[in-house]
Structures are given as C-alpha cells and as structure tokens.
Structure 1
C-alpha cells in the first residue's frame, strides 16, 4: 500500500512539475486574471430583483432573480431560508423551497431540508450582465416554449 501511495505521489509531483504553470499565470477566457472563488467579479453588475426567471429545459433548477452578494450559507446558517423557508414565504412573497428538497437520496421525507440540498448555490445561480464567453445556438425545450 505504501509503495502504491509513493508511486502516485511521484506521478502527481512529476505531472504538476511538467505542466510548469504557476497560479499567477492563469487567465480566464475573457483574458482577465484567473477568477479566485465562485463569486462574480465586482465589475459585473448584478441583475435587478425581478419575478422568477423562465426555465430553458425540463428539470432546470430555477435561476435566482436577485443578487446574492453578501449572502452567508454555512453549515450553521443559510441566508436563503430567511425568505424561502415554508414558514416565511407568506410574509416575504418569495418562492417556497420545493418539496423535493426535503427528501433524502432514497426518497425518505424529512422534517427539514436534506443536507444534500442545503447549499442552494450548488444548483441555483444569480444572474449578472456578463457577456457570454462563447456563442450558443441553444433553444429552449419545445414543451417550455410559449
């Protein structure tokens, strides 16, 4: 087992050394510095708060129609639940969390959000005015076209 770990370590070290790219040399497709983290850069404008955005394909997680800048989601606290939890939506007017978020992988219903659905921005994303990196000829699913 130690021999395998040693071999893997050597391969990993050789592979990274062979690439020869330093983190500060990485550039984004837009030609700017490499993005650190998953937050939109400050020079992009968040879209204004709006009604729920239309979905483009079946089973698409809803897009977030407002800025989430400064939202805290940790294992102890989830800012999204201040508005979207079932007991707060009547007061806030926000969309309720889907019942699917209260089920485990095996379909067992829970009394609170499933841990695998707790970190909202794994699937749901807010919108910015960033220009597309590449062109797209994507068309919405036929069943969703009005």
Structure 2
C-alpha cells in the first residue's frame, strides 16, 4: 500500500516539477532514508550500525611525500589515547622546542608561534594548539570517496 502511494506521489511530482525518482529511490523513501545514500551506506538514521574497524598505522615510519605546498606533515606513529584538549596536549610532550632534541622528535614549526596578527609569541599560538585539526596519522586506508587530485607539478 505504502509503495503504491509513494509511486503515485513520485509520478505526480515528476509531472509537476520535472524531477524523476528511480525505483530504488522510491524504496529508499519507503524505508525512511529519503532515497539518499551517504558514507553511512543506505542505513537508516535511526539505526546505529557497528563502527568501522580501526585503520592500521604502519609500525615502520614511511616517508610520504607532500602533494601540495604547505601541506601539514603526516604523523608517522599511532596517536590512540593521546589527549589534545584545552588542558593538555600530548604532542607537545615530544615535539615542543624544549623537548624535541631530547626525545628525537621533529620540532613544531616556527609558524605555530605566530598569531593571526603576525605577532611572534613565546608559546604555541592558540589557533595552532590543536594539532589534529591539520595533522593526521599515516594509515593504510582506502579513500572514502573518489579523488582525481594530482600533485603540484613542481613537487613531482
């Protein structure tokens, strides 16, 4: 019964507005997902699906070349259980200028000490404090969506 009502509705909308619905979209409408498939798949919003498995971070540091100028470097180690919050930043325990040499880690860039008014600060700028906004771990993960991005010619 619902299917026939939805089919009648889709035909009416087609005649009025010129939009068309495929049969699977009508079935999707019937299931309450509006005929839309997202990165969640065709799972209804009210349904909680199991989380995807965690992506594997390689144990050996892999040097992945930059794809564009000023690309933030990738993190070559796992960061599970790293706290980066208003009160703590686990990244700075190794990558701060005072501890980097001792820890054998890369120092954070001097650009992280400049505020939005181009003033040099004595500590990390608040807008650069949350490392994971720009830096991500290297992971063996396939892209979620298609990508036709090509590296900048000068970096090839």
1:21-60 equivalence runs, <5 A: 29=39, 31=41, 41-50=52-61, 52-60=63-71
Q: Deviations over 1:42-94 (max 9, x none)?
A: 44222324155321100111111111111001111100001100011111121
CA distance in 1, matches of 2:42, 2:80: 21
Question: How many angstroms does 1:41 deviate by?
Answer: 4.4
Instruction: Give the alignment's TM-score, normalised by structure 2.
Output: 0.64
Give 3-state SS (helix, strand or coil) of 2:101's partner: helix
Preserved contact between residue 62 and residue 124 of structure 1 (Cα < 8 Å) = yes
1:126 and 2:137 correspond: yes
1:108 and 2:116 correspond: no
- Provide runs of 4+ in structure 1 moved above 6 Å: none
- Inter-CA distance 50–102: structure 2 relative to 1 (3 Å threshold): same
CA distance in 2, matches of 1:85, 1:49: 23
CA distance in 2, matches of 1:133, 1:66: 22
Structure 2 counterpart of 1:98: 109
Structure 1: state its 5+ residue gaps: 1-19, 35-39
Preserved contact between residue 46 and residue 128 of structure 1 (Cα < 8 Å) = yes
Q: What RMSD over aligned residues (CA atoms) do the two structures have, in Å?
A: 2.6
Instruction: Give the alignment's TM-score, normalised by structure 1.
Output: 0.68
Larger radius of gyration: 2
Q: Which moved more, 1:94-103 or 1:130-139?
A: 130-139
Q: Deviations over 1:72-129 (max 9, x none)?
A: 0111110000110001111112111000100110110100000010000001111222
